[in-house]
Amino acid sequence: MMGSEKIMTNWATEELKYIDLGDRRRHIRLIKMVSDLAAQPNASVPQASGDWAGTQGAYDFWSNKRVKAEKIRCAHQKSTLERVLKHQTIVVSQDTSELNFSHHNSKKGMGHLDNKNCRGLKIHSVFCVSPQGVPLGVLHQQVWARDMKKIGKKHSRNKKEIKEKESQRWLKSLSITEEVIPEKVRVVTVADREADIYEFLAAPRQVNSELLIRAHHNRLVKKEKSMEKLKTAIAAEAKVGETSLELHRTPSRDSRICHLTLRQMSVELQPPQTHINYNDLKPIPIQVILAEEENPPRGEKPISWLLLTTLKINDFNDVIQCLRWYSYRWLIERYHYVLKSGCGE
């Protein structure tokens, strides 16, 4: 066995040491498959498997009804938790993506995607990162197919309870995160604008469980004794400082250094007036951070992050730390990109 192949096999063996597929032969096959595919991530299954026996073994494994994806994810989750417990604080990113299989006409059980003309699966992941930005693994994952009969019924969402909506995925993932990670570890859940949901921000949380969410809605807030819109209120705050941040490459931009002007305030976030249970809802005490790029390079869209957090902000260093932790969100986007590539999307 060549050196690189041996390293991959050792890594796969260690990462999946908690696997229980009911048969040691399945365990051995899984280790070989993971090792082969990790060694050649850009290769097809036949190329990565090396020979026909390996290729057939991989396809037989995937078609085996005794092999459950949840058991494989559970084994990885336990290894992830081992790494998580080595830290006093971890950043947990939640994000939703989709697997577009519109060009795979033979696949069954597919649902509609954000583009109603496309077919595939939705996927919501919980990805753990150290305070220094080192990936620790996937803690939880939800995969589902949307009901084709519900196409065109978006307008009725305000009339439904959160438990009846697809957005329940954010609360479910938060609940599972708190369930499996002990309270001695501080967990900072980071998410993009899709997670700017009143119920998510207002959800009861365990001690040491905090939120850091990018704002989407220009909600009404109570600032001292006056009511204002969120964006108006934060724009009126004095600058607390400036910083530079490295932006990683995405499909829509190249990597670059951006220079940000920072503002911060504490407010009470008011419940949305269109909410079905508006009269029973209470304001949410929240910290707000605005990081703006005032002079972006020519041709570049300026960076503007409006963040909501339950973390205490006592000084400028706390603001910088929140920005750094939010910047780690690109890691879960990169994970989804690699996942979709591997799924042949």
Match 């409006």 to its residue by tokens.
Answer: 306
**What's the confidence (pLDDT) of residue 231?**
96
Label residues 242-266 b or e (16+ Cβ within 10 Å = b). eeebebeeeeeeeeeebebebbbbe
Residue 217 pLDDT grade (very low, low, confident, very high; cuts 50, 70, 90)? very high
**What's the confidence (pLDDT) of residue 159?**
62
Q: What is the pLDDT of residues 99-153, one digit of tens each?
A: 999 988 888 889 999 998 999 999 999 999 999 999 999 999 999 999 888 776 6
CB 92 within 8 A of CB 177: yes
CB 128 within 8 A of CB 90: yes
Please check the confidence at residue 252 and state whether its pLDDT lies above 80. Answer: no
Q: Give the list of residues 6+ apart from residue 342 with CB closer than 8 angstroms, or none.
A: 37, 41
What is the average pLDDT value for the chain, to the nearest integer? 90
**What's the confidence (pLDDT) of residue 344?**
58
pTM (predicted TM-score): 0.90
Residue 65 dihedral angles phi and psi, to the nearest 5°: -70, -15
Residue 301 parent element (H or E): none
Q: What is the mean pLDDT of residues 15-27?
A: 92
**What's the confidence (pLDDT) of residue 3?**
52
**What's the confidence (pLDDT) of residue 203?**
95
